Amino acid sequence: MSAATARLEFRAVTRRFGRAEATVTAVEAVSLAVGDGEVVSLIGPSGCGKSTLLNIAAGLYPPSEGEAYVDRVRVTGPNRQVAFMLQKDLLLPWRSIRENVEFGLEIHGVAAAERRPRAAALLARMHLADCADRYPHQLSGGMRQRAALARTLAVDPSVLLLDEPFSALDAQTKMVLQQDLAQTLRDTRKTAFFITHDLVEAVTLSDRVLVMSRRPGRIIEEIPIALPDRDRPLERRRQPALGDYVARLMALLDVVHAEV
């Protein structure tokens, strides 16, 4: 990936936590770039600093060393070019689903007259048109996560930062949402940085998979996925070559020998 067209880029990013003797180095010298329209997955053992990288990209805290860039602008704080989505849906219980989807737009100062149609279109795309006026507790886990995805897309970010967005869902719901996400990413030509522990998910959704080492996290491998149908993960799942990719990732993560 050439840095010239990168939507998201980390240059030698190191992040430490704590001070003096008790410092923990979460990530060390991480450099990577995600190109326009590309979907890149990041996998690695628990605690290796994946979420830390995502928070740095979102501008929630600065790197200890190195820089992050979004749309070739250095990240110095929260910015409108990115939007993130976590394993938790983070829907506000006192807002209806529609109001939740409009949340980011509201913060960005978009007028109500403009927010309404945008939210309505996204709710329709996420099959939530009938639920617009309901409250989060009235929805299933899968529907709530769809609403969270709609909220993330509503601000029309250059880069979507997705931190294990489907890991709390049951297997079937997860596959349906993966399919919806992949099609949405294709239709909107969005760039996405996707953190996951699910190796099959990483392979079926991505153009490339990056593998991190145990803490302090570094990128130890980059695997381009040369499979068709990136926009149709359900199709990709049936590819015989999928198993080879997953086996390779398992070997890299040393899944068999890793202590839990």
**Nearby residues of 147 by Cβ (< 8 Å), 6 or more positions away:** 89, 91, 97, 100, 101, 123, 126, 128, 131, 136, 139
Asked if 86 is part of the footprint of other proteins (rule: CB under 8 A), the reply reads yes
CB of 99 to other proteins, least distance (A): 10
Question: Closer to other proteins at the Cβ: 73 or 234?
Answer: 73
Asked if 173 is part of the footprint of other proteins (rule: CB under 8 A), the reply reads no
The DSSP code for 101 is: H
Choosing from 41, 52, 145, 191, the residue that interacts with ligand ATP (CB under 6 A) is 52
Choosing from 144, 215, 218, 230, the residue that interacts with ligand ATP (CB under 6 A) is 215
Asked if 49 is part of the footprint of ligand ATP (rule: CB under 6 A), the reply reads yes
Choosing from 12, 17, 124, 222, the residue that interacts with ligand ATP (CB under 6 A) is 17
Choosing from 40, 42, 43, 83, the residue that interacts with other proteins (CB under 8 A) is 83
Grouping H, G, I as helix, E, B as strand and the rest as coil, residue 32 is: strand
CB of 158 to Mg ion, least distance (A): 22
Q: What are phi and psi of 160, to 5 degrees?
A: -95, 130
User: Can you state the percent helix, strand and coil of the chain, rounding each to 5?
Assistant: 40, 25, 35
* Burial category of 114 from C-beta neighbours within 10 Å (exposed 0-12, middle 13-18, buried 19 and up): exposed
Asked if 51 is part of the footprint of Mg ion (rule: CB under 5 A), the reply reads yes
Question: Closer to ligand ATP at the Cβ: 17 or 116?
Answer: 17
CA 212-213-218 angle, 5° bins: 65
Residues 202, 217: Cα–Cα separation, whole Å: 18
Q: Which residues of this chain interact with Mg ion, rule CB under 5 A?
A: 51
Q: Which residues of this chain interact with other proteins, rule CB under 8 A?
A: 55, 58-60, 78-80, 82-84, 86, 88, 90, 92-96, 103-104, 106-108, 135, 137, 155
